[in-house]
Amino acid sequence: MTRLRTMLLTIGGQPTTLDTVKVGDRTYVALDQLQKALTAAGGSNQLGAAEGCLNE
């Protein structure tokens, strides 16, 4: 049995409301909603990782 539900999640330190679907014992979120929430939380301004070690 599946149930649609709205859930408050914390993403990037910000509270975000997303629609979820519960199937059995697991809760799922649509990837497009998650992508929008991550972008809104600052995901679009991320800096690339630098390679190497400290003092290299």
- Strands across the sheet containing 2-11: 2-11, 14-23, 26-29
pLDDT in tens, the chain (56 residues): 667 889 898 887 888 899 999 888 888 999 998 888 888 766 555 555 556 666 65
Among 33, 39, 40, 43, CA closest to 6: 33
pTM, 2 dp: 0.56
In this predicted structure, what is the pLDDT of residue 53? 62
Quick one: tokens of 42? Answer: 């600052």
In this predicted structure, what is the pLDDT of residue 19? 92
